[in-house]
Chain A
Amino acid sequence: MPDKTNDRSLESYRRMLRIRHFEDRAEAMHAAGEIPGSLHTYAGQEASGVGACMALRDDDYMVGTHRSHGHPIAKGAALRPLMAELLAKATGICKGKGGSMHLSDFKVGSLGETSIVGSGLPVAVGAALGSKLQGNDRVSLCFFGDGASNEGAFHEACNLAAVWTLPVIFLCENNGYAVSTPASAMVSVKDVAERAKAYSMPSAIVDGQDVEAVFEAVTEAVTRARTGGGPTFIETKTYRYAEHAVNMGRVLLDRGGEVDEWRSRDPITKYRKRLVEGGVAEATLDTIETEVVAEVEDAITFGRESPYPTQEEAFDDVLSERLPIPAFLTA
């Protein structure tokens, strides 16, 4: 039972709420045409990201996916540059180059939110190798989906981490689906975590809607990694409420009553109840909610008032020095 004076509990609640509110607003802005591109929301999976990140130090590394909004917020990133990025502005965390699939804030230890499925896993392994070679105790955590566990890169990354005893945590967010295909039809094992056995890796399966359970499992994995015990595989059983991406105007797969069932176990509602039962005053939680709403509105205002990148900026950051601007753009 969380203690009412426990800062971590309140911070976990705050971060989950931040993700939810940030995305609710983003989804509406996307529907209104204010946010371009595609938008893959994390709603329903907040406890998985927040529980995991609360177990990390600020200087630990993290790699994520196309479903990129939740991870940086869970790790403590500021909201203004994230919202500005969704709005394609120059003040965005990726200067308007990345967008919704790449909300990656290197200031909080992110090494990328990458939209090619499975491509983040080797990066996390490499960062862990870097920690080992540099003799520091930073760990790396890699978020990926059930679908990603079918990519070759996943298997190669797992084996590398195991044979080199690297400080990495493979965190599979199993939300049951990859676009339109259920994991039950596409993954050869019932639990993705079973795959850890093939790489002699300890594993855990946790309720991804329970932020404390995720925190505990990841804390154990982090301790193992920091003390030279090598990689751990954790599977969070979770769910995305929305379609693969929002505002597509189309349902790719009818998931039936299942969605409501999962909504009834909403990780944020559940955690709030638990905090109140543990003695946290409703007013405290209401205050957090008010603050989060204000923070998100502030980020939206910041994003809206920010300038777009200039055409020349399309030629920045390809290499360390700006490329020459082609004549047709300067005429």
Chain B
Amino acid sequence: MARITFLEAIRAAQLEEMQRDDKVFIMGEDIVCNVFGTTTDFVENFGLERVRDTPISENGFVGAGAGAAMVGMRPIIDVTLSSFLYPAMDQIVSIIAKSRYIYGGQASLPLVVRSCMFYGNSNAAQHSDRPYPMLMGVPGLKIIVPSGPRDMKGMLKAAIRDNDPVFCFEDATLWSGKEEVPDDPDFIVPIGKAEVKREGTDVSIFAIGGAVPMAMAAAKILADDGISAEVVDPRTLSPLDREAILKSARKTGRVVAVDPAHLTCSAASEISAIVVEDAFDTLRAPIVRVTTPDTHMPFSPVIEKALYPNKERILAAVRKVVGLPVPA
């Protein structure tokens, strides 16, 4: 066990998997200079063939990852910020997601596309997206959003070993958070499994990425008010762990879904729909979603900050579903 940051967890996962399997290589913009600290000493360890700087050609190198995967490599494609996935949407949707299907299973695409969600820093609308819901609408992709260093390391390792394309969305608000993380090279956190981060009986808070620590903090405060909140982190958004979601919803009968993405068609929306379809009879109150409203992210920090989910909004949502007066 070692206490490491989220970024160090990314580095550790990549390092261990590249040591374990020489088919694994990494490419992306400004990888060699180690811009975010996830490839420290990689060039020294693996050389420039396996640690590749790419030109600013996202559609090109993401698609090249697909081709390399088809012939047996296991690329890790670092797309820096998730807003830069858009130029690559062509290869992501038409090639990466669909090749296995349209070729009747002949193609296998074991690749990982990593990108961070860099929001809340006054970098304006073109840099601040949290676009996993768009990809949730595309069959053929796995999507993970780890919420802490332990899950980050374990899930990224699982993603690299997975035989399907996995999109890893890294919430930059979590970058510097530390946690005890196993250093066993075979430590894996399975894809497709939610985790109950805190047990509770009165309300289920489903929280994604950077919203998980907020939900945990809210649950602590609620406990002082005599409300027992269960915090569930789906961790994988495609495929969602329906059983875990339904189990918690049935147990508490009250649901708050917290998601840093935009409200409409968010992961919170999908979670809510699952609960309404299959656990409606156990619900004791309408579901509340705590998300980012359907506007772009403005540059000005005075109006950007309040748009995202925060602890206060989660508390208000929980008080509403448990039927307590919500203070103004």
A interface residues, Cβ below 8 angstroms from B? 36-38, 85, 88-89, 94, 96-102, 114-119, 147-148, 150-153, 178-181, 185-187, 252-253, 308-311, 313-315, 318, 323, 326, 328-329, 331
Contacts of A187 in B (CB 8 A): 55
Contacting residues, chain B, for A328 (C-beta < 8 A): 313, 316
What's the least CB distance linking A238 to chain B, in Å? 18
Query: In the complex, what's the smallest C-beta–C-beta distance from A71 to chain B, in angstroms?
Result: 17
Per-position 1/0 for B142-178, Cβ under 8 A of A: 0000000000000000000000000000000000000
B300 touching A97, Cβ below 8 Å: yes
Hey, what's the 0/1 contact readout for B106-139 against A, CB within 8 Å counting as 1? 0000000000000001111111000000000000
Q: Report if A180-B30 is in contact (Cβ < 8 Å); known contacts: A187-B55, A252-B35, A329-B306.
A: yes
Identity of the chain B residue whose Cβ is nearest the Cβ of A181 in the assembled complex: B53
- The reply to whether A88 and B59 contact each other, CB–CB distance below 8 Å, is no
Q: Is B286 an interface residue (CB 8 A)?
A: no
CB contacts (< 8 Å) of A179 on chain B: these are 29-30, 33, 35
Q: Which of B35, B60, B84, B313 counts the most A-chain CB atoms under 10 A from its CB? A: B35
Q: Which residues on the A side are within 8 Å of B102 (C-beta)?
A: none
**Per-position contact with A for B14-26: 1 when CB-CB < 8 Å, else 0?**
0000000000000
Is B223 positioned at the interface, with any CB of A under 8 Å from its CB?
A: no
Q: List 7 A-B contacts (CB under 8 A).
A: A97-B125, A117-B56, A118-B87, A151-B87, A179-B33, A181-B29, A323-B294
CB B315 to nearest CB in A, in angstroms, measures 12
A289 to B150, CA, bound (A): 57
Chain B contacts of A181 at CB under 8 A? 29-30, 32-33, 53, 55
Q: Is B95 an interface residue (CB 8 A)?
A: no
CA–CA, A274 and B29, complex, Å: 40
When the two chains form their complex, are residues B303 and A148 in contact, meaning their CB atoms are under 8 A apart? no
B280 at the interface (CB under 8 A from A): no
Chain B residue at minimum C-beta to C-beta distance from A148: B56
Chain A residues, CB < 8 A from B328: 331
Q: In the assembled complex, which residues on chain A have CB atoms less than 8 Å from the CB atom of B295?
A: 314-315, 318, 323
B30 touches A252 (CB 8 A): yes
Give bound CA distance, A152 to B89, whole Å. 12
Q: Tell me the complex Cα distance, A88–B302, Å.
A: 8
Which residue of chain A is the closest to B83 with respect to CB atoms? Answer: A116
**In the bound complex, CA of A173 to CA of B296 (Å):** 30
Let me know if B124 and A314 touch, CB within 8 A.
no
In the bound complex, residues from chain B placing their C-beta under 8 Å from that of A150 are 55-57, 60
For the complex, is B293 an interface residue (Cβ under 8 Å from A)? yes
A115 to B295, CA, bound (A): 18
Q: Which residue of B lies closest to A326 (CB)?
A: B293
Which of chain A's residues have a CB closer than 8 A to the CB of B196?
Answer: none
CA distance A313 to B87 in the complex (A): 29
Convert B45-59 into 0s and 1s, putting 1 for each residue whose CB lies closer than 8 angstroms to a CB of A. 000000001011111
Chain A residues whose CB sits within 8 angstroms of the CB of B296 once the complex forms: 97, 318
Closest to A314 in B: B303
The binding surface of chain B is classed by DSSP as loop
Q: Does B307 contact A (CB under 8 A)?
A: yes
Given contacts A315-B295, A328-B313, contact A101 B56 (CB under 8 A): no
What is the bound-complex CA distance between A176 and B181, given in angstroms? 41
Hey, which chain A residues are within 8 Å of B301, CB to CB?
36, 88
Contact assessment for B122 and A152 in the assembled complex, using a CB-CB cutoff below 8 Å: no
Query: CB < 8 Å: which of A38, A119, A186 contacts B53?
Result: A186
Question: A308 contacts which chain B residues (CB < 8 A)?
Answer: 300, 302-303
Closest to A254 in B: B33
Give the residues in chain B near A117, CB-CB below 8 Å: 56
In contact, A118 and B122 (Cβ under 8 angstroms): no
What is the bound-complex CA distance between A14 and B83, given in angstroms?
37
Decide if A115 touches B126 in the complex (CB within 8 Å).
Answer: yes
B55 CB contacts on chain A under 8 angstroms? 147, 150, 178, 181, 186-187
Distance in angstroms between the alpha carbons of A279 and B326 in the assembled complex: 75
Cα–Cα distance between A37 and B316 once the two chains are bound (Å): 30
> In the docked arrangement, what's the CA distance between A301 and B38, Å?
41
CB distance A99 to B57 under 8 Å? no
Is B86 part of the binding interface, using a Cβ–Cβ cutoff of 8 Å?
Answer: yes
Within 8 A of A (CB), among B27-82: 29-30, 32-33, 35, 53, 55-60
What residue in chain A is nearest B313 (Cβ atoms)? A328
Interface string of B296-328 (1 = CB under 8 A from A): 101111111011000001001000000000101
Told that A96-B300, A114-B126, A252-B33 touch, could you supply 4 new A-B pairs with CB distance under 8 A? Answer: A115-B126, A147-B56, A150-B60, A179-B29
Max chain A CB contacts within 10 Å: which of B30, B56, B122, B304?
Answer: B56
If A97-B298, A252-B33, A253-B33 touch, does A313 touch B124 (CB 8 Å cutoff)?
no
* A81 to B: closest C-beta gap in Å: 14
| Chain B residues whose CB sits within 8 angstroms of the CB of A38 once the complex forms | 123
| Closest B residue, CB atoms, query A251 | B33
Cα–Cα distance between A117 and B59 once the two chains are bound (Å): 12
Per the bound structure, the CA–CA distance linking A313 and B298 in Å amounts to 9
Please tell me if the beta carbons of A310 and B303 are within 8 angstroms of each other in the complex: yes
Which one of A89, A179, A187 has the greatest number of beta carbons of chain B within 10 Å? A179
Give A98 to B86 CA distance when docked, in angstroms: 19
Beta-carbon contact of A118 and B56 below 8 Å: yes
Partner of A311, one of B35, B124, B306, B316: B306
Distance of A101 Cα from B220 Cα, bound (Å): 40
- CB atoms of A309 and B123 under 8 A apart: no
B122 and A116 contact, CB distance less than 8 A: no
**B57: contacting residue among A89, A152, A180, A329, CB under 8 A:** A152
Question: For residue A37, which residue of chain B has the nearest CB?
Answer: B122
Quick one: which of B53, B60, B299, B306 has the most chain A CB within 10 A?
A: B299
Query: Knowing A180-B35, A309-B303 touch, does A152 contact B59 (C-beta < 8 A)?
Result: yes
Contact A152 B30, CB 8 Å, known A115-B124, A309-B303: no
Across-interface contacts of A36 in B (CB, < 8 A): 121-122, 299-301
Shortest Cβ gap from A237 to chain B (Å):
19
Interface centre among A96, A101, A186, A187 (most CB of B within 10 A): A96
